[in-house]
Structure 1
Amino acid sequence: MPETPETRKTRETREISVSFAPELRPLAAAPERRARVDGISTLGHVVESLGVPLTEVGRLEADGHEVPVTHVPSPGESVRVAAVTRPQRVPGAPLRFLLDVHLGRLARWLRLLGVDAAYFNADIGDAALAARSAAERRVLLSRDRGLLRRRELWAGAYVYSDRATEQLRDVLGRFAPPLAPWTRCTACNGRLRPVEKETVVARLEHGTRRTYDVFARCAECGQVYWRGAHHARLAGIVDEAMRDFGGAGGET
């Protein structure tokens, strides 16, 4: 049955208009949306139902006034949804991250820069990831919007790109973590410590023993590091990150 002017008016009186900041439009699918309200659901619930996790939401306004995510919208309200302010400060704990199974390269590159980045090379499930985020107060990084909607999360952030180079710039620009390159194990996230060549020589191949003299070892897993064939590529990643985001400096 075609919609009549009367039924259209009735429908519109039960809706609110929601406009999203440009940064959020890849998630919201449209800059402006209309949403039905029931007098019970919070504005946070409405925003998430339109595709935007609350981890990505900054200031909320209803009819020009700032409101909390717990605000229950009334029919006819005009809502504006801003993105989180960058750099985003995460209060209450040292800045640490937890990455889901699809972000392995990003985890390694964060560790390369000395950023505390926990990662499982297996799918341990959304519930376990959310629980670890809460238990260890880690910011969960993910491209899974459903995972970021879990209420037990301590903090989270959506990773917008599927390219590791862009992901790294996104995270560094959003959170501005202190950078300390070459201080973490890219395999397990443990701390690296300088070691004498003699203490690791038995673990080295002949060419490495002959060519290199400076070594470090992970205090957690024992992995040995030196400036090998891949160093130039990794140094390029480090140099770019330090040039563009290294202002914070210091240890993590």
Structure 2
Amino acid sequence: MFLVDAMLGNIAKKLRLLGYDSEYSSNMNDDELVLRAKKENRIIITKDELLSHQARKKNVPLIHVTKNDEVGQIVQIYKNLEFTKSVISSAKTRCTICNGQLDSIDKDQVTTKVPDGVLEQTDHFWKCSECDKIYWEGSHIKNLQKFVIGLNEKL
């Protein structure tokens, strides 16, 4: 769905947590980004004026964000796409590292892969289908929930 430029790495992570297929590359030049977006049928998300201009010339869909805060940037993206509400869904959340899909995994399969305190307090775990990173509901989910509440108030 999205190809996020190097200036907006945190936005790529937030979009992944919100369930959106969001590729991110910090080592591609503008020509490569535009070509990849066109080839993979992705929407470029950028703050870069030159990249925006180049994408428009090549008729590649893009969202040019101008806000400096993450909530404001996500609001711009949502409004551009006419999304009216954001929700957190563990069934849709993607890996923040590689954009892979997360699959539910039994607690007994992660005993050597997560801290003991997490095992004692948590029953639900997910594993990235691509990089094998293990996820669980921790404080980052509470922070994301606060982020989504702020986002929905502005939509």
TM-score by length of structure 2 reads: 0.85
CA RMSD of aligned residues (A): 2.0
Match of 1:147 in 2: 51
Match of 2:124 among 199, 214, 236: 214
What one-letter code is carried by the residue in structure 2 that aligns with 1:119? Y
Match of 1:164 among 70, 74, 89: 70
Q: Gapped runs of 5+ residues in structure 2?
A: none
The answer as to whether partners of 2:124 and 2:136 remain within 8 angstroms in 1 is yes
Please list the CA deviations of residues 128-170 of structure 1 after superposition, one character each: whole Å capped at 9, or x if unmatched: 1111111101111111111112233521121111211110111
Match of 2:135 in 1: 225
What one-letter code is carried by the residue in structure 1 that aligns with 2:103? R
What one-letter code is carried by the residue in structure 2 that aligns with 1:118? E
SS in 1 for 2:51: helix
Q: Does 1:97 align with 2:6?
A: no
Match of 1:127 among 28, 31, 54: 31
Classify 1:114/1:196 alpha carbon distance in 2 versus 1 (closer, same or farther; 3 Å). same
Deviation at 1:112, TM superposition (A): 1.1
Out of 110-119 and 232-241, give the one that drifted further: 232-241
Classify 1:192/1:156 alpha carbon distance in 2 versus 1 (closer, same or farther; 3 Å). same
Q: Gapped runs of 5+ residues in structure 1?
A: 1-95, 246-252
SS in 1 for 2:66: coil
Classify 1:191/1:179 alpha carbon distance in 2 versus 1 (closer, same or farther; 3 Å). farther
SS in 2 for 1:220: coil
Match of 2:148 among 217, 223, 238: 238
Greater RCO structure (CA 8 Å; 6+ sep): 2
SS in 1 for 2:6: coil
The answer as to whether partners of 1:131 and 1:153 remain within 8 angstroms in 2 is no
Fraction of identical pairs, as percent: 30
What one-letter code is carried by the residue in structure 1 that aligns with 2:76? D
SS in 1 for 2:98: coil
In the comparison of the two structures, how many residue pairs are matched? 149
The answer as to whether partners of 1:115 and 1:179 remain within 8 angstroms in 2 is no
Match of 2:81 in 1: 175
Match of 2:17 in 1: 112
Structure in which a larger fraction of residues adopt helix: 2
Q: Does 1:204 align with 2:114?
A: yes
Supply the distance in 1 between the matched residues of 2:86 and 2:20 (Cα, whole angstroms). Answer: 6
What one-letter code is carried by the residue in structure 2 that aligns with 1:109? K
Supply the distance in 2 between the matched residues of 1:211 and 1:127 (Cα, whole angstroms). Answer: 48
Match of 2:99 in 1: 189
